[in-house]
Amino acid sequence: MNQNKMYLVNKIFNNQDIRTVWDNENEKYYVSIIDIVGTLSESVEPRKYWNWLKNKINKEEKFEVSSVTRQLKLKAQDGKYRLTDVTDI
């Protein structure tokens, strides 16, 4: 596991908690898009903001965001694992 990449992710996002997961099979880190959107937008409801943004991109750009993202189960604040949109770094 390359800790330098994770350090870089934390530095880019002002040491905010960005949920990440290492995929051994593909040898990639995946990061939670909702966490990144929440940090950048400072939204109190980053999941709703991300859903709105995905719809807007789809309508205006005719681009399906799911072509560059995937869903993985990540631990939520309540301790339960839920499917979350992620992208690789």
pLDDT single digits (tens) 30-63: 899 999 999 889 899 999 999 999 999 999 998 9
Question: Each residue of 60-73: pLDDT tens digit?
Answer: 998 988 888 999 99
Dig out the tokens for 66 from the structure.
């799911």
Number of domains in the chain: 1
Strand partners, 44: none
- Structural domain boundaries enclosing 42: 3-88
Give this prediction's pTM: 0.79
**Which are the contacts of 4, defined by CB distance < 8 A and separation ≥ 6?**
none
Dig out the tokens for 46 from the structure.
């980053």
Rounded Cα gap, residues 19 and 89, in angstroms: 12
**Which are the contacts of 15, defined by CB distance < 8 A and separation ≥ 6?**
none
Neighbours of 5 (CB within 10 A): 15
